[in-house]
Structure 1
Amino acid sequence: MGKYRIALAGNPNTGKSTLFNTLTGLRQHTGNWTGKTVAKAEGEYLHNEQGYIIVDLPGTYSLHSNSADEEIARDYIIFEKPDVTVVVLDATAMERNLNLALQVMEMTNNVVVCVNLIDEAEKKGITVDAGKLSRSLGVPVVKISARNKTGLKQLLDTIELVAKGTLEPKPYQVRYSDSIEKMITALEPGVKKLFQDAYPIRWVALRMLDGDKSLLETLQQNYKTPSMKEVFVNGVSFSQ
């Protein structure tokens, strides 16, 4: 049986790298992402006799094209299609951290939200209702303290269920203004025609509306499509 591939995403200072180190121990290696000066950390762990390869993505606040870190994290999720993307949140700063989780949930269904630093949250009198948050987001939510190794078994069990398809998340999708939703609906058939099911259609349409030319050029290169000028539907277009 092959190894499942897991991506770790999260804002800086959420304890993401601590979780990575705790899971992989000495079974990890570092280098740079191809063509970038940004460090890449990749490791392995074993759970229930099943092997996993885990990649610690650069810490980012968003997944747009504002920096090399953001592009690397975004491109890995879209092009490498990890079996599970674990979004690590800081339990003491949930509102700020949830923005990234919602962005990841627009890109892939196979998401597990990991609420880290629950020990710090408890010291500050902050309580996180994992069940309620899971119902709101449509994805499994697990509370842990990577530093104290609290909740790790539940996290690994949950990752296993999602990786094997036993548990199928149904991520909440952000609804935008009526005008933006109409433009998304207008663009989706053209995006579908161009990329088939290679990428999440709604997400690509959003990136087009955002004018993310860097991403769209990368999509073309990876999928070997004709020019994005072909996407012109119901008066909505993207031109390079």
Structure 2
Amino acid sequence: MTDMTYTIALMGNPNTGKSTLFNVLTGLRQHTGNWPGKTVTHAEGECRHRGTLYRIVDLPGTYSLYSNSADEEVARDFLLFQRPDVTVVVVDATALERNLNLALQVLEMTDRVIIAINLMDEAKKKGIHINTKKLAVKLGVPVVPISARNREGIDALLDTVDAMAHGRINTNPLSIRYSPEIERGIAKLLPLVKDVMGDTYPARWIALRLLDGDTSLLQALKQPPQPLIKEGNAYACCGSIKSI
């Protein structure tokens, strides 16, 4: 048994089953409330797996991290400032190409990512086959097939989270290359960003957002949001999952 608690962020597009996965992991008793200074609701719970306690944060469902809405700002700020130990991006197996857009954006911000391909049962019904091993090689991070509502693949996902949290998995995330003009802009901004921010934040991602004129990000960097404060009693751990 370890006293160390790791923070796990759940991200994904709306209707990918992300909150269903959250409920499976954390059981019935969870803490809900609003993010500091926002009307956006957040849900948080705990899960114990192989003797380690995990704080699970269910981030708002978003299609991007481009600061176009309060939901997107909350998700972006949590990854940027709270720096979770592992980020699980939940994607819909029946709409993989569309869902991977968010996953690629997350990979630009952090390398501690696991892709959980949910609704594998629905994909099977539609005759969709996903080669998760090839996809993992392409993306450079673990890819785990699951069906949250049927509780299939949950143990494998938790084992992967456990391995990444404890440093047993090395990742090499796919780096998106943009047009020559954008890449030149990034190259010019990178030294300035690193000089001001150091290694605290993902410099390439920040440079890209600055090129896009993301004023919301600039404001957040000047005044980072306050961390979440846990309220109430301890949460239930992992519901009825047998691998506690």
* One-letter code aligned to 1:117: L
Deviates more, 1:166-175 or 1:85-94: 166-175
CA distance in 2, matches of 1:187, 1:37: 34
**Aligned 8 A contact 1:162 1:169 in 2:** no
* Candidates 140, 160, 163, aligned match of 1:161: 163
Of 50, 64, 72, 1:62 maps to 64
CA distance in 2, matches of 1:75, 1:58: 12
1:79-98 equivalences under 5 Å are 79-98=81-100
Q: How does 1:45-124 map to 2 (within 5 A)?
A: 45-124=47-126
State the distance in 2 between where 1:35 and 1:184 align.
Answer: 32
The RMSD of aligned alpha carbons is 1.0
User: Is 177-186 or 7-16 further displaced after alignment?
Assistant: 177-186
Give the counterpart letter for 1:198 in structure 2: T
Distance 2:116 2:29 in 1: 22
Structure 2: how far apart are the matches of 1:50 and 1:5?
A: 11
Counterpart CA distance in 2 for 1:18 and 1:214 is 30
Alignment partner, residue 9 of structure 1? 11
SS in 2 for 1:161: helix
Are 1:177 and 2:179 counterparts? yes
Q: Could you tell me how far apart the structure 2 residues matched to 1:198 and 1:152 are? A: 32
Match of 1:22 in 2: 24
Structure 2 portions without partners, runs of 5+:
226-244
| CA distance in structure 2 between the partners assigned to 1:217 and 1:34 by the alignment | 15
Give yes or no for contact 1:27–1:44 (8 Å, CA) kept in 2: no
Identify which of structures 1 and 2 has the higher relative contact order when contacts are C-alpha pairs closer than 8 Å and 6+ apart.
2
- For 2:46, the equivalent position in structure 1 comes to 44
Partner residue in 1 for 2:188: 186
Pairwise CA distance, 1:27: 3.8
TM-score (norm 2): 0.90
SS at match of 1:53: strand
| Aligned counterparts of 1:149 and 1:18: Cα–Cα separation in 2 | 10
Work out the CA distance in 2 between the residues paired with 1:178 and 1:65. 24
Distance 2:44 2:190 in 1: 35
Partner of 1:146: 148
The corresponding residue for 2:241 is none
C-alpha distance in structure 2 between counterparts of 1:222 and 1:23, whole Å: 29
Match of 2:200 in 1: 198
Mapped to 1, the partners of 2:163 and 2:80 lie a distance apart of 21
> Deviation per CA, 1:161-191, whole angstroms, max 9, x where unpaired?
1111110211101000111111101110000
CA distance in 2, matches of 1:221, 1:13: 32
C-alpha distance in structure 2 between counterparts of 1:2 and 1:159, whole Å = 14
Question: Gapped runs of 5+ residues in structure 1?
Answer: 224-240
Q: Secondary structure at the match of 1:174?
A: coil
